[in-house]
Amino acid sequence: VSAHNKSGFALANHELNAAFVERLDLENRLRRAIHRGELSVVYQPKINLGRGQISEAEALVRWNDPDIGMIPPSRFIAIAENAGLIGLLGAYILTTACQEAVSWGHDTRGASTVAVNVSAIQLQDPGFPDTVRKALADTGLSPENLILEVTESAVMDDTDIVLPNMRAIATMGVRFAIDDFGTGYSNFDNLRRLPIHSLKIDKRFVDQITENQNDARICQAMIALGRALNLVVVAEGVETHEQSLFLKAYGCDQLQGFYFSRPLNRVEFREFVEARNSQ
Ligand code: C2E
Ligand code: CA
Ligand code: CA
Ligand code: CA
C-alpha cells in the first residue's frame, strides 16, 4: 500500500468518523429535545376552493436546537426513524396538533380540522391505532377533525400491517390523505380498497404547471382520477396566482402553498384564519 493510498484511506476514514459523530450528536440532541418537549408544530392553511375559506391546516413539525438553530424535518425525521425515536416523536406531534386544533375549534370562524403527517414506520406499528385513539381521548378532538397524511410508498410498503391499521383507524372516524401523490407507484387496486378521503398532488407537478404542458396534463389527469374516485383533491406547493387559477380550473378542491400562506405558529394561524374566514 502506497503512502498516498494510506493517507487517502485515513482521510476517508476520518470523514466517515466525523459524519458518524455528527449524526450521533444530532440523535442525542433530538432525544433530549423530544423528552423536554422542545419541538413545536406549525400549521399551513388549506384553502377551500369555492368560498375561499379555511377549515383545515397541515401540521408540520419544527425543531430549533439552541446551539445549531433550525433543523429541517427532511433531515431529522430520518434520524428519528433510524434511532427508534419516531414513535415517541410522532405521538408528541399528533397530541400537540390535536390539542391545538381543539383550541381553534372553539372559535366559530376558526378551522376545525388538522392533518398530521405519519411516517411509514409509525403506520407499520401494530400499536399505532392505540396511539391515535389515545391522542383523541387525551385532547378531546373529534375523530372527524383529524386527517392522517400518509405517502403512497408507506401504504404500499407492508400491507399486512398497514391495511388493518388503516382500517382500524378509519373505523374510529379518522380520515386518510395520500400525500405526495404521483411520486410513488400507485396501485390503483389499493387506492380503491383503502379507506382514503383525499389525494394531495405533490409540489413537483404543480411547480411547472403554467409552463410545461405535460405537467399540466398530469395534474389534470390526477385531479380527474381523484374526482372519479370521489376523493377530495388537494394541491400542495402553490406559489403563484397563475398556478392557483390552473388548479381551480382543473377542479381541485383545496389549495395549499406559500402563495396563500407559509406554515404559521398556532397564534398566527388563528389570526390568519379569523381574518380570512370573516371576509
Ligand atoms: P410534505 O408533507 O410534502 O410537506 C410539505 C412541505 O412543503 C413542507 O415542508 C412545507 O413547509 C413545504 N411547502 C408548503 N408550501 C410550499 C410552497 O408553496 N413552496 C415551497 N417551496 N414549499 C412549500 P417542511 O415543513 O420542511 O416538511 C418537509 C417534509 O418533512 C414534509 O413533506 C414531510 O414529509 C416531512 N414532515 C414535516 N413535518 C412532519 C411531521 O410532523 N411528521 C412526519 N412524519 N413528517 C413530517
Ligand atoms: Ca404532508
Ligand atoms: Ca410533498
Ligand atoms: Ca412528503
Task: Give nearest CA residue, ligand 1 atom 43.
Answer: 117
Q: Is the CB of 72 under 6 A from ligand 1?
A: yes
Atom of ligand 1 nearest to the CA of 59: 41
| Contact between residue 114 and residue 43 where contact means Cβ atoms under 8 Å apart | yes
Q: Is the CB of 244 under 6 A from ligand 1?
A: no
Is residue 189 helix, strand or coil? helix
Q: Is the CB of 112 under 6 A from ligand 1?
A: no
Number of residues that this document lists for the chain: 279
Confidence tier at 265 by pLDDT (50, 70, 90): very high
Q: Which three cell numbers stand for residue 192?
A: 380503491
pLDDT tens, residue by residue, 16-49: 788 888 889 999 999 999 999 899 999 999 999 9
Atom of ligand 1 nearest to the CA of 74: 30
pLDDT tens, residue by residue, 193-231: 888 999 999 999 999 999 999 999 999 999 999 999 999
Q: Is the CB of 237 under 6 A from ligand 1?
A: yes
Pocket residue to mutate for ligand 1, from 58, 60, 206, 208, most atoms within 8 A of Cβ: 60
Nearest to 175 by CA among 206, 217, 141: 141
Q: Is the CB of 61 under 6 A from ligand 1?
A: yes
pLDDT tens, residue by residue, 116-171: 999 999 999 999 999 999 999 999 999 999 999 999 888 877 778 999 999 999 99
Which residue, chain included where needed, has cell 476517508? 12
Mean pLDDT score of the chain: 92
Residue 65's CB is within 10 A of a number of other CB atoms, namely 16
Task: Give nearest CA residue, ligand 1 atom 32.
Answer: 74
Task: Give nearest CA residue, ligand 1 atom 45.
Answer: 117
CA 168 and chain centroid, separation: 20
